[in-house]
Amino acid sequence: MYVALKVIHIIAVILFMGNIITGLFWKAHVDRTRNVKFIAHTMDGLIRADRWFTIPGVIVITAAGIFAAIQAGLPLLRTGWILWSIIAFSAGPPPAVSMSSWRSSFATYARPRAVRPWSLARLSPTGTGMRSTRP
């Protein structure tokens, strides 16, 4: 039973870390486009992936790790690395990287900007480059 729980724990950690690393990659990749629609779509997918994979992964990692430690006869609260792992997973991310602050900073970035009439004149369909004067 201990070996099965340990294998589940290790597989869950690999999937958890893979999801986080993949999310960071796609976030950095889409930010280079500076396209608000692409960024919003990617953020929606990343948030959905966190709900479907990361959060359940944390639960499986914690449960399998605790049950494996119990099966091995390790004292949970007197074994430092187990105690601090439980504390770290229970505390969640620090406020600087929490999902709510990430979403609110994205919402600020994704707000539509006011369009200035003189900037649109540069994009004339005839390609003449006519520019209007500022009001």
pLDDT, average across residues 90-95: 64
Is the entire prediction scored with pTM above 0.85?
Answer: no
26/17 Cα distance (integer angstroms): 14
Q: How confident is the model at residue 124 (pLDDT cuts 50, 70, 90)?
A: very low
- The first and second tokens of residue 108, run together, are 């600020």
> Does residue 110 carry a pLDDT above 90?
no
Residue 60: per-residue pLDDT:
92
Q: Which residue did the predictor score with more confidence, 32 or 90?
A: 32
CB burial of 28-42 (b: ≥16 within 10 Å; e: otherwise) equals eebeeeeeeeebeeb
